[in-house]
Structure 1
Amino acid sequence: MAKQKAIHSSNRLYIKLRLKITLRCQILGKKPNIQAAISIEYHIKMQELARIISQTGTETKLFDLLEQEVQDKVGAKLVTLMWLDFEAGRARRIYTNRPDLYPTNDSKPISNNPWHEHVIINQNTFVANSLDEMDEQFTDKDFFSAHGCASVLNMPIAINGKTVGSLNLLHEENHFTEERIEKTQELALTAMVCIMLQQSNLSKT
């Protein structure tokens, strides 16, 4: 309950500030300053991340925040975050919202294929809004379909110019509109921090 309260309180603060900006602009007869609103949102987000990182149980709280942001901004039935362990040559799942379908103790070889070149090497987001649009690399398309998913979005997560993982979203057919694709960029910061924490934990062992 405490973690949900913290997330909701930051959301309330953001809404209150947005309303304050809008009302102020209406009084002055000006259009709302969207850039100012965006700046406030990121300021609050940075505060929230700093608060979470400073506390115990950081990893779980960060994943909870990532899940909350995905659902608020884009929506997805299945959410996973992969970390690329180049030393071991494995792509490791460090977060999933459906551990019954995709457990976090699972990993797969880092393969050199068209998807890898598009997402990992060239750092482009991959989107397929139907099963037919998915590349042949998606060998589990039937599994997606069986769980009500027919569209996929894979967003590369890069740190210091190097792709270190991918945020993967699955939902119903034709879910990832241009607007939602653009919104996924707002998820990158939290995903980066999650992966950086994973790297930090490994360096301690």
Structure 2
Amino acid sequence: MNDLIALSDPSVPLEDAFAICDAKIENDLFTAMRFHPDTMEVERLYSTNTAAYPVSGRKPKRSTPWGDKVLIAQEHNCGHGPADIAWAFDDHQKILDLGLLAVLNLPVVADGRTLGTINYLRGGPPFTEDEVTTGQALAAALARRGTL
């Protein structure tokens, strides 16, 4: 089955869909978050490093530049270096301590509603425009499920 078709197929378990996303862009940490617009929180549904970033809990994003950009304006966030990590994440020191310097956050948007995000971090080079385009296609395919 084509990966983009699998991502949008609700019969494919969500965890399997997230694993497909993880495999498509080189990363050292991949997470997927569900957005709760009523409380402006994100909830981690998937993580490739459950020791550092377990699947559980919610993180507040109300009145944050990252929340405004990714969750409200539905724009991707792509950055590299400590300043970009600190801009995006309250727990930036933890991320930097893991050696992660490059970030790519992509909103998953269906019918104008932000369902959540898929997030890539790595210690290596900045994410390229081709990787951003790939990530946007993955997020769009996930959105066709209608829910995260």
Percent sequence identity over aligned pairs:
24
Q: Which has the higher contact order (CA 8 A, sep 6+)?
A: 2
Look up the equivalent residue of 1:107 and give its one-letter code: R
- Runs of 4 or more off by more than 6 Å in structure 1? none
TM-score (norm 2): 0.82
Name the structure 2 match of 1:67: 22
Three-state SS of the structure 1 residue aligned to 2:31 is strand
Counterpart-to-counterpart distance in 1, 2:146 and 2:90: 26
Matched, 1:54 2:5: no
Q: Tell me which of 101, 112, 115 is aligned to 1:161.
A: 112
SS in 1 for 2:23: helix
Q: Distance in 1 between matches of 2:32 and 2:117?
A: 6
> What stretches of structure 1 of length at least 5 have no aligned partner?
1-9, 11-43, 199-205
The SS at the match of 1:134 is helix
Gaps of 5+ in 2: none
Alignment of 1:95-114 (within 5 A): 95-114=46-65
CA shift, 1:135, in A, is 4.6
Matched residues in 2 for 1:53 and 1:186: separation? 17
Aligned to 2:3: 45
1:139 to 79, 83, 90: 90
Q: Determine which structure has the larger strand proportion and give its number.
A: 2
- How far has the Cα of 1:90 moved from its partner? 2.6
Structure 2 counterpart of 1:54, which letter?
S
Greater helix proportion = 1
Q: Which has the larger radius of gyration?
A: 1
* In structure 1, distance between residues paired with 2:28 and 2:116: 20
